[in-house]
Amino acid sequence: MSVSSRERMRMALSGVIPDRVPFHPTIFTDHACLVCGKRFEDALINPALGCDCMLGAALYYQTDAVRFVMGAPQRWYEEKIVVEQDGKLVQISRQTGKAEGYFDVAGGGSLFLYEPAPGVRTLNDVRNIPVLTAEELLQQGCFKDVARCVQAAHEHGVFTVGLCAGQTINFMVREMGDDSAAALMLFHDDPDMVRALIEKAVTGSIEKGKAFIASGVDCIYIGDSYASASVISPALYRRFCVPAYAEVAQEFHHLGVFVYKHCCGNYNPLLDDFLSIGVDGMDGLDPTSGMSVRRTKEKIGASTTLIGGISCLTLLNGTPEQVYEEATQCVLAGKPGGRYVLGTGCAVPRLSPFANIRAARAAAVDHGRYDD
């Protein structure tokens, strides 16, 4: 039996045994740009380039799936320009000529404004956080490039995923002016504020996810890097995070797509609550945080598809032979009974050697077949 990458991922996420273990590493725009002979800066200067590079990297590595991020609205191209000044990548207003902020090129590419708006501090502030509807996002052109690249991916038989993270704590941190300490203290000091922020985050996530689905994606990726046992307790996770993830997962399932949740850090203490979210897959399984494919498979692998397992440090610093061996062990641990996709513990480090990602895929091809 030989199937397309798209069908292979669908089978794995549905609990049906495919021809082989799929390969779906967490590649983001920074590494994708390098694969395509571009700089990460190029995709920040012209955001439309990001989708093309993500697809280009997926085709180069022959991954079974590709992730896409929401693009900039059309008015951004009309109102802003990004230039390199004094070693920084700076956003400038076309109308005023004023520098508005700089991009964190070394990090994830976030824009740091020189005059940021104050973070929310009251319930009224939370109520005033704007949420664009899916229709508004589509009308503004935020998904024009996503839709174009999703169609191209499907023409190549590749499964597509829309990145729709930030249903809980990451949203709280951002809206509080990137003050992570203040956001986390709210769980103790003001649970009502936490609920209000998460409710707003869920509303916005659902609208963004609807726009991704209208653009043709097969699956939605949800999750928050802060919502981990490396940061919060199982009790807080159960009380505040699980209901939020369950709500968005139910909505996206109702709209006919798969949903998987990215899990950063140590998730072992949270596994008892994970299945109640109702997603099709768990992405991450970071060995540097104490996770393992084998242990997670034994705990929840019969009920949800596991995606991940390869150490990002091995991808960055190891040899192709070391990556192949580690990936092979992940495949052998995750393969029995299906419901496993070979992937990475978190985002592929930007400067990871291309040969290492190719070695990981080779392990899935060589050892992941179910008809041997």
**22 burial type by CB count under 10 A (0-12 exposed, 13-18 middle, 19+ buried):** buried
- Contact in structure between 274 and 260 (CB atoms under 8 Å): no
What is d(CA 54, CA 29) in angstroms, rounded to the nearest whole number?
6
Q: Give the tens place of pLDDT for each residue, 300-354.
A: 999 999 999 999 999 999 999 999 999 999 999 999 999 999 999 999 999 999 9
Residue 343: both structure tokens together: 């992937």
Please tell me the predicted confidence (pLDDT) of residue 9: 98
What is d(CA 19, CA 17) in angstroms, rounded to the nearest whole number?
7
Single pTM value for the model: 0.97
CATH code of the region 5-72+133-367: 3.20.20.210
- Contact in structure between 236 and 261 (CB atoms under 8 Å): no
Among the listed residues 314, 319, 351, 348, the one whose alpha carbon sits nearest the alpha carbon of residue 330: 314
Please tell me the predicted confidence (pLDDT) of residue 30: 98
The DSSP code for 91 is: E
Output the CA–CA distances (angstroms, integers) from residue 54 to 112, 150, 163, 205, in the order listed.
24, 11, 12, 22
Please tell me the predicted confidence (pLDDT) of residue 202: 98
Domain extent listing, the chain: 5-72+133-367
Cα 86-91-93 angle, rounded to 5 deg = 125
* Mean pLDDT score of the chain: 97
Please tell me the predicted confidence (pLDDT) of residue 53: 98
What is d(CA 165, CA 70) in angstroms, rounded to the nearest whole number?
11
What is d(CA 131, CA 353) in angstroms, rounded to the nearest whole number?
40
Please tell me the predicted confidence (pLDDT) of residue 372: 66
Dihedral of CA 93/98/100/103: which sign?
positive
| Percentage of residues in the chain having pLDDT higher than 90 | 98
Q: 43 pLDDT exceeds 90?
A: yes
Q: Give the tens place of pLDDT for each residue, 150-173.
A: 999 999 999 999 999 999 999 999
The arithmetic mean of pLDDT across residues 194-207, rounded, is 98
Among the listed residues 224, 252, 245, the one whose alpha carbon sits nearest the alpha carbon of residue 166: 224
Please tell me the predicted confidence (pLDDT) of residue 371: 84
Which phi-psi region, left, alpha or beta, contains residue 339 (left: φ > 0; alpha: ψ -120 to 50)? left
Residue entry with tokens 């070391």: 322
- Contact in structure between 342 and 297 (CB atoms under 8 Å): no
Q: 2 pLDDT exceeds 80?
A: no
Q: 194 pLDDT exceeds 70?
A: yes
Please tell me the predicted confidence (pLDDT) of residue 335: 97
- Contact in structure between 275 and 296 (CB atoms under 8 Å): no
| 3-class DSSP state of 202 | helix
DSSP string, 66-85: EEE-----HHHHHHEEEEEE
What is d(CA 108, CA 178) in angstroms, rounded to the nearest whole number?
14
Please tell me the predicted confidence (pLDDT) of residue 1: 64
Q: Give the tens place of pLDDT for each residue, 65-112.
A: 999 999 999 999 999 999 999 899 999 999 999 999 999 999 999 999
Please tell me the predicted confidence (pLDDT) of residue 209: 98
Q: Give the tens place of pLDDT for each residue, 232-289.
A: 999 999 999 999 999 999 999 999 999 999 999 999 999 999 999 999 999 999 999 9
